[in-house]
């Protein structure tokens, strides 16, 4: 009788452990791997590349708060790609690179189509499950300085 009680108890404990591990993995699949733009950041330099044109922005104040909200609302799933087949290896598309200074990890938002968006943090790729543009272009006109990507 004691033998069956021990087996039953071990089965219950193992079932609970597996359940907790599975719940944790399910919750992580669509969440940010970390905070993309930490709360204490007061300025972000954005480099935007589209159709051969490169623009730089300095984001602060209200525009930065909107950008932080956008970043915190992204749902992502980690992806691994073979060399030469990452979303960054696709011709065309649109790229936003975000630089917050030396103490923070830069990241890029790659748009290869309306529902084909990715985040690159260091050398780690994430598929964006709820793609949206980072901000409305009209909000940033005052901080834009256009730099042609290719000069002749």
Segment 53-77 shows an average pLDDT of: 93
> How far is 58 from 144, CA to CA, in rounded Å?
8
pLDDT recorded at residue 147: 43
Residue from 124, 51, 129 nearest 94 by CA: 51
pLDDT at 53 over 80: yes
pLDDT at 138 over 50: yes
Q: Parse the chain into domains and list their residue ranges.
A: 1-30, 44-148
> How far is 20 from 14, CA to CA, in rounded Å?
10
pLDDT at 23 over 60: no
Residue 98 — very low, low, confident or very high, per pLDDT cuts 50/70/90?
Answer: very high
């Amino acid at each position: 009788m004691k033998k069956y009680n021990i087996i039953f108890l071990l089965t219950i404990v193992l079932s609970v452990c597996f359940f907790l591990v599975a719940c944790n993995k399910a919750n992580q699949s669509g969440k940010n791997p970390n905070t993309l733009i930490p709360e204490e950041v007061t300025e972000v330099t954005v480099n935007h590349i589209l159709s051969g044109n490169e623009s730089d922005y300095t984001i602060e104040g209200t525009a930065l708060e909107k950008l932080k909200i956008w970043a915190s609302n992204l749902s992502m799933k980690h992806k691994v790609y073979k060399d030469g087949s990452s979303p960054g290896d696709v011709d065309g598309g649109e790229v936003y690179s975000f630089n917050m200074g030396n103490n923070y990890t830069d990241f890029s938002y790659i748009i290869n189509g309306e529902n084909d968006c990715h985040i690159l943090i260091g050398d780690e790729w994430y598929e964006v499950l709820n793609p949206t543009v980072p901000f409305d272009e009209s909000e940033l006109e005052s901080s834009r300085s256009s730099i042609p990507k290719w000069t002749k």
